[in-house]
A and B are shown apart, each in its own frame.
Chain A
């Protein structure tokens, strides 16, 4: 299954993905009219400042197991198996921020969402553009990213495992002896993530 892959070393910090994401999650779906909507559509991908002031695109990793999902009080977060996407049901969400305390990537925001119940503050994050995908379109952030920082490709099983390792390390599921702390998994995953940032994605280049 194709996934959005983040290559932060290529990010030029232009924030086009944020604009495209906000537009894709607006009611009117057009850049010009979306800006006039109330509530203002907000992006679900966040470009922050990296280590040297460079751009750092950050979005939901759709972890498995997903720490946010385990922490959610009313059970508002579920996995949509069709696109392997972790989704939040805004009708069930009670805005308790338990998921903010659980997400190791810090990608969830809380506000009224144009696509959610009117006037209700809810947890909002990347939904892998499920609606666009059902129409055969690729995620909005990828479509607009010209620098190759966000790409849409088959995610190697190895890469996916590393992402999940971060999630598992905080979901308290470490197999083996207690002497192997979760920290090792997170540390390895962070190292791996930085390696990914600095390398070409060789292991994926042969996949379509």
Chain B
């Protein structure tokens, strides 16, 4: 009997799963339901379209024949409204039922909404999709001053993109430095200095109370401390939250994301989740965690696809990791970046006199569980591999900090 596979979400986790299933099962029916109608595209690159360094077609990561070549039935421009777990079907617009034997939830995440007055004014945007960026670009003409809320990946990329477009930018962040979820205070201070040097107006410890406008268009942001920032364009980048409104929580256990085991299966047999919507065991933190990043979505989609198609594959766990190039500064981080001061961790660091290099390694027992590299990032992949493999470090830890480190130094 041919199996019915249904995948919700045509982001990277969904398409990786679809391709993987098709490689392993030539006869099963694959249906991919997604509310975005574009060809599969690279979400992290939308900030480059904002910046103007690439055009929209360059975001595409699969060709126009993708669905046909993989014998996938696409249902695009539709949102899944509910899952009938016992009836083995998902419900889309107009009450239409799409039956499944195996289901993958790969719906990604939505921008975290903010609570502030005046959000209905024009030119206030979120930045999650191609269409968001298209809308921003439509309103960018005549924009002279932008305010970006949030110093996470999205806010940070939006601010840099607008700056490169020649728009003045104020970046308002609640914490003491940008990317506070990704880097420690020392690396954060280096990033902050670099951004300011490049002309970005970064305000730390800032929170917005509301927006004020004229003729329906935003004109300024009012800060909680009483200050004001003039702006005619606003981007809200205050993080994301898993897109799982339609998931029946009494049937499919959910924490922050949908809980999955090492095979990406949820608490409901035959129903899987992957990508930004899923919460799996985190290798470095040794607890469940939503790591909403591209490389995790790719791998989780593949692992889910294999298991759905009947090939038993276990996922060793997720790992937060990011690499960011900020003008002339490179930052790469993974795993535990700022460990709790509870005696479980050992931290070693190195800096150069010129203030260009910073390296920090975090160990727990005899394993590497995290690192931060500012510049000289070429060997970061070896360290990522060390964390993910949980390989006990038998050599001198200091040796790993050396700028000329290479993997031969790890050999037993």
Contacts and interface: CB of A to CB of B under 8 A. Distances in A.
Contacts of A176: 312, 314
Contacts of B377: 97, 100-101
B412 A194 contact: yes
Nearest to B62: A75
Given A96-B325, A106-B378, A170 B42 contact: no
Given A75-B61, A166-B385, A186-B391, A178 B314 contact: yes
A18 B298 CA distance: 34
The interface centre, meaning the residue of B312, B381, B391 with most chain A CB atoms within 10 A of its CB, is B381
A180 B315 CA distance: 10
A179 to B, nearest CB: 8
Interface in A95-110: 95-106, 108-110
A58 interface: yes
A43 to B, nearest CB: 13
Say whether chain B's binding surface is mostly helix, strand, loop, or mixed: mixed
Contact of B391 (A73, A175, A177, A190): A190
B410 A169 contact: no
Main secondary structure of the interface of A (DSSP, over half): mixed
A190 B323 CA distance: 26
Q: How large is the interface on A (under 10, 10 to 19, 20 to 34, 35 or more residues)?
A: 35 or more
Contact of B385 (A104, A109, A177): A104
Contacts of A96: 44, 323, 325
Interface residues of B, number: 51
Interface in B375-396: 377-382, 384-385, 388-391
A73 B294 contact: yes
A94 B45 contact: yes
A41 interface: no
A203 B28 CA distance: 42
Contact of A190 (B45, B303, B411): B411
A75 B408 contact: no
B315 A181 contact: no
A181 B389 contact: yes
A187 B378 contact: no
Given A74-B45, A100-B323, A173 B408 contact: no
B61 A56 contact: no
Given A176-B312, A178-B262, A178-B315, A104 B382 contact: yes
Contacts of B298: 70-71
B359 interface: no
A117 interface: no
A106 B295 contact: no
B299 interface: yes
A35 interface: no
B102 interface: no
Contact of B384 (A97, A102, A166): A102
B388 A169 contact: yes
Given A58-B406, A172-B315, A74 B58 contact: yes
Contacts of A178: 261-263, 314-316
B316 A172 contact: yes
B360 interface: no
A58 B404 CA distance: 13
Given A51-B411, A97-B330, A186 B389 contact: yes
A183 B389 CA distance: 3
A75 B334 CA distance: 22
A50 B313 CA distance: 35
A187 B366 CA distance: 14
A182 interface: yes
A75 B409 contact: no
A170 B385 contact: yes
A86 interface: no
A88 interface: no
Contacts of B302: 70, 172-173
A182 B316 CA distance: 6
Nearest to B321: A101
Contacts of B412: 190-191, 194
A56 B409 CA distance: 10
Contact of A58 (B44, B61, B407): B407
A83 interface: no
A100 B380 contact: yes
Contact of A102 (B58, B303, B381): B381
Interface of A: 8, 46, 48-51, 56, 58, 67-68, 70-71, 73-75, 92, 94-106, 108-110, 166, 169-178, 180-183, 185-187, 190-191, 193-194, 197
Given A58-B408, A182-B390, A183-B389, 11 more contacts: A70-B302, A71-B298, A94-B48, A102-B381, A173-B302, A178-B261, A181-B389, A182-B388, A183-B388, A186-B385, A190-B410
10 contacts: A74-B58, A95-B325, A96-B44, A97-B377, A103-B381, A169-B316, A174-B313, A175-B312, A190-B412, A194-B412
Q: Which 10 residue pairs of A and B lie closest in terms of their CB atoms, listed nearest first? A: A186-B389, A104-B385, A178-B262, A103-B381, A183-B390, A178-B314, A183-B389, A48-B406, A106-B379, A56-B408
